[in-house]
Amino acid sequence: MEATFAPLLSPRPASFRRPLSRNRCRPSTGSTSPSFHIYSILVFNHNHKKSHPLQNTRKKSITSPLSSSSSSTAPPAPPPPPPPQSSPPPQQGAKPIPLTISLAVGAILYFLVPRPSELSPQAWQLLAIFLSTIAGLVLGPLPVGAWAFLGLTTAVLTGTLPFPAAFSAFTNEVIWLITISFFFARAFVKTGLGDRIAMYFVKWLGKSTLGLSYGLTLSEALIAPAMPSTTARAGGVFLPIIQSLSLSAGSFPGEPSMKKLGSFLVHTQFQASSNSSALFLTAAAQNLLCLKLAEELGVAISNPWLSWFEAASLPALVSLLSTPLILYNLCPPEIKETPDAPAIAAQKLHLMGPLTTNELIMIVTMLLAVSLWVFGDAIGITNVVAAMLGLSILLLTGVMEWDDCLSEKSAWDTLAWFAVVVGMSEQLTALGIVTWMSNYVSVSLLSLSLSWPLELVLLQLAYFSIHYMFASQTGHVGALFTAFLGMHLAAGVPGGLSALALAYNTSLFGALTHYSSGQAAVYFGAGYMDLQDVFKLGFVMAIANLVIWGGVGAVWWNFLGLY
């Protein structure tokens, strides 16, 4: 079936920045010229022409009571409307049930579970506080940052941790690298560079629906290393493009027509985003946290950016190239050919005009930052210093304003709660909790007489499957990465292989459900995904990714000498 990209002649076409309700944009009929069709899709800042308030108003006849002899009495007055009922005030403070459960987790451990003789009272008390903190991050009695602050306050107030130890992670380089990555992502959206790159791929590969999906997938892989937020790439770049293409083809969210084009493109981009995040160390914030936590357990990855990419390159590329084809068969689009898409992309590029000064500065800055991330160790420049240098250039040149950084609330919230979780994890390691857990697991696994490759598979499957209980990739890392890496090491699995495999899985399970990651919420909120399809396709693609990464990856990692 060949797509006819109908014009959007409604007063205001779809916004590139937010999901659309199903009633806002409808294809119009008429004899409008094709050039105007394309123009009407791509121009988004024209004034909204509202109808006159009296237009189409039905005229009512007014009959005077004096002109009707049959109306000797006035009609009875209508009863007064009932007084408006006041709605209950919104709940303030913590949610009672999640709060009770979160506190109970730590209290049960501390008061009811006997303390092992190998652990000090301080270590046992910190473990109880940590478990309550993690339970709260999952259940959400308060916003994540607020609950983490309460956990930190409890640790200091009870004397479990001194103030310097409790706040030590706020000077952690990786935490600040993650924070700065949010600012880079904002700069990509602000300058429009991400839109421009994606439009070139649509122009080159977009003549068919399958080719269009490959164009979007490959463009995200190209942008990913310099735009370290999968959520920002989804909401700021790719979802707006998919919405525009889908609406122009008559594929509307929340309606049967979404199967024409929009559903396939959204599902494909959603699944492909997880492999783009796994391909590069700087493609997602949780990747950096994984390597930092691994380093705390003595697993240091030399030249981390290059080592990460080298190990991920083959399985990630195979999975990226397989994803559109698999989904093309699992949820085939009704529209198979999209001959107008390259023309639409070309017209949008024409409207964008030549590269702006800010885009050129952004390109040079990102090339510098990525180069230093790859080769900086040789000249003594760490990853965070390279990121600081890049942000400084953007601020000096005016590409980013300081108000842009201040308004990036997710960055500061991440800084707050990541630092708390990482700080507690560091102290748990220092107090011997991780060593005790590793020894316990080691003894249990040895009793099963399993080989370390089989133990690796079982632990990886458990780590992956548990994410059905989490609504955040970073929360999953903070809660379980250290413990699972310790189990791998206790089972005799090589440290580098264990850390990288867990980190790659952390990116891959971001497309498991509609709540499994930030980008999941963005794509699901667009209205092109049925909930049943999200779980079904998420499960199938999880199996496909595990097979590809476990098969191709295992052979590749053996070739690289990881085991």
Token pair for 141: 């009695």
Instruction: Indicate the angle between helix axes 383-396 and 173-191, nearest 10 degrees.
Output: 40
Query: Dihedral angle at the C-alpha atoms of 451, 457, 462, 468, nearest 10 degrees?
Result: 180
Average pLDDT by consecutive 10-residue portion of the chain (563 residues)?
Answer: 42 40 39 38 40 38 38 58 64 91 96 93 94 86 91 96 92 80 80 82 84 90 84 79 81 91 94 94 89 90 92 96 95 87 87 93 88 80 86 96 91 84 82 79 76 92 86 80 89 94 96 86 86 92 95 95 92
| Residues ≥6 apart with Cβ < 8 Å to 171 | none
- CA neighbor of 293 nearest in space, from 125, 462, 434, 413: 434
Within its chain, how far is the Cα of 538 from the centroid? 15
At 73 the pLDDT is 52
Residue ranges in 471-530 assigned as alpha helix (H): 473-476, 482-490, 495-508, 518-525
Query: Dihedral angle at the C-alpha atoms of 250, 251, 252, 254, nearest 10 degrees?
Result: 150
Q: Where are the domains of the chain?
A: 96-170, 173-400+432-560
At 88 the pLDDT is 64
Specify whether the CB–CB gap between 287 and 281 falls below 8 A.
yes
Cβ contacts of 529-535, under 8 Å, gap ≥ 24 = 529/263, 529/266, 529/267, 529/270, 530/263, 533/263, 533/267, 533/331
- List C-alpha distances in Å: 111 to 106, 114, 427: 9, 8, 21
Token pair for 477: 């890392």
Look-up of token digits 């046992």: 124
- CA neighbor of 217 nearest in space, from 274, 271, 266, 272: 272
DSSP 83: P
φ/ψ (deg, to 5) at 2: -100, 135
Q: Quote the longest CA-to-CA distance of the chain.
A: 104
DSSP result, 452-484: HHHHHHHHHHHHHHGGGG-S-HHHHIIIIIHHH
Q: How far apart are CA 303 and CA 390, in angstroms?
A: 20
At 198 the pLDDT is 74
Look-up of token digits 């995904």: 529
Instruction: Indicate the angle between helix axes 239-248 and 341-352, nearest 10 degrees.
Output: 130
DSSP 206: T
The model scores a pTM over 0.85: no
Q: How far apart are CA 119 and CA 431, in angstroms?
A: 8
- CA neighbor of 347 nearest in space, from 9, 5, 32: 5
- CA neighbor of 470 nearest in space, from 514, 432, 420, 501: 514
Whole-number CA gyration radius for the chain: 28
